[in-house]
C-alpha cells in the first residue's frame, strides 16, 4: 500500500511541475498572407532588448512576447515595415534594430572597429620602423669604431678556439 501511495504522490508531483514548465506559443490570425510574411520578417529583424543577440521571433522573454503582439497589431492595422520599425526603435531604442542608423549615438558602433584597425596597423608600422631604425643605428655605430689591439687579440683567440671546437677530427671523437 505504501508503494502505491508513493507512486501516486510522485505522479501528482510530476504533473504539478510539468504544468509550470509549459511554454507559451503565440498564435496569431492574419487577414492575408502578405501580413503574415511581413510579421515573420519583422520578428526576425527586431532584436529582443532582454536577450541581447536574439530576435523577438526566437525569444521566450516576456518583453519579446509583448513586442510580437505589438508587431501583429501594427501589421494588421496596415502600417508599413518602415513605420513599424520606426515605432519599435522610438519605443525601445536603437538597440532593437539589427541595422541601426548612422547617427552620433551609433558612431562608435559603425566606425569604432575601423578606428581600432587603423590604430593597430599604425602601431605595428611605427614599432617596426623604430626597431629597424634602432638596428641601423647600432650597426652604424659599430661600423665606425675600430678595434683596439687588445680587442683584436681577444677576438682572434675566441675565433681560434671556436674554429678548433668545430673541427671535423674533434667532432668524430665526440660521436664515440
47 and 113 part of one domain: no
Q: Is residue 149 part of a domain?
A: no
Q: What is the CB neighbour count within 10 angstroms for residue 84?
A: 21
The answer to which of 31-40, 44-53, 95-104, 117-126 has the lowest mean pLDDT is 95-104
- Write down the H helix ranges in the chain: 2-20, 33-45, 62-76, 81-92, 107-143, 149-165, 168-175
In a domain, 67, yes or no: yes
In CATH, what number is assigned to the domain containing residue 50?
1.10.8.640
- Summarize the confidence of residues 144-154 as an average pLDDT: 80
Residue 62 sits in the same domain as residue 114: no
For residues 97 and 107, state if they share a domain: no
Burial class (CB in 10 A: 0-12, 13-18, 19+), 107: exposed
Identify which of 8-17, 98-107, 116-125, 149-158 has the greatest average pLDDT: 116-125
**Tally of structural domains, the chain:** 2
Q: Domain for residue 75, yes or no? A: yes
Q: Which has more confidence, 102 or 27?
A: 102
Could you tell me how far CA 6 lies from the centroid of its own chain? 51
Q: In terms of domains, do 77 and 126 share one?
A: no
Is 79 in the same domain as 110? no
Q: Do 96 and 132 fall into the same domain?
A: no
Against a cut of 0.75, is the pTM above it?
no
95 is a domain residue: yes
Asked if 70 and 93 sit in the same domain, the reply is: yes
Question: What is the per-residue pLDDT across 22-38, written as a single tens digit (0 to 9) for each?
Answer: 555 667 788 888 999 99
Same domain (yes/no): 83, 31 = yes
Same domain, 74 and 119: no
Range of the domain at 125: 103-142
pLDDT tens digits for range 105-120: 778 878 999 999 999 9
Amino acid at each position: 500500500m505504501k508503494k502505491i501511495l508513493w507512486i501516486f504522490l510522485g505522479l501528482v508531483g510530476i504533473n504539478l511541475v510539468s504544468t509550470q514548465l509549459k511554454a507559451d506559443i503565440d498564435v496569431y490570425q492574419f487577414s492575408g498572407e502578405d501580413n503574415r510574411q511581413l510579421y515573420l520578417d519583422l520578428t526576425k529583424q527586431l532584436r529582443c532588448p532582454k536577450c541581447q543577440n536574439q530576435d523577438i521571433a526566437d525569444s521566450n522573454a516576456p518583453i519579446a512576447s509583448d513586442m510580437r503582439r505589438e508587431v501583429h497589431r501594427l501589421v494588421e492595422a496596415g502600417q508599413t515595415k518602415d513605420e513599424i520599425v520606426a515605432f519599435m526603435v522610438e519605443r525601445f531604442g536603437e538597440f532593437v534594430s539589427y541595422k541601426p542608423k548612422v547617427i552620433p549615438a551609433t558612431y562608435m558602433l559603425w566606425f569604432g572597429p575601423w578606428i581600432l584597425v587603423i590604430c593597430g596597423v599604425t602601431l605595428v608600422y611605427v614599432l617596426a620602423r623604430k626597431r629597424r631604425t634602432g638596428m641601423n643605428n647600432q650597426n652604424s655605430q659599430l661600423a665606425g669604431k675600430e678595434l683596439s689591439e687588445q680587442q683584436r687579440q681577444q677576438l682572434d683567440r675566441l675565433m681560434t678556439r671556436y674554429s678548433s671546437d668545430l673541427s671535423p677530427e674533434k667532432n668524430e671523437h665526440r660521436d664515440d
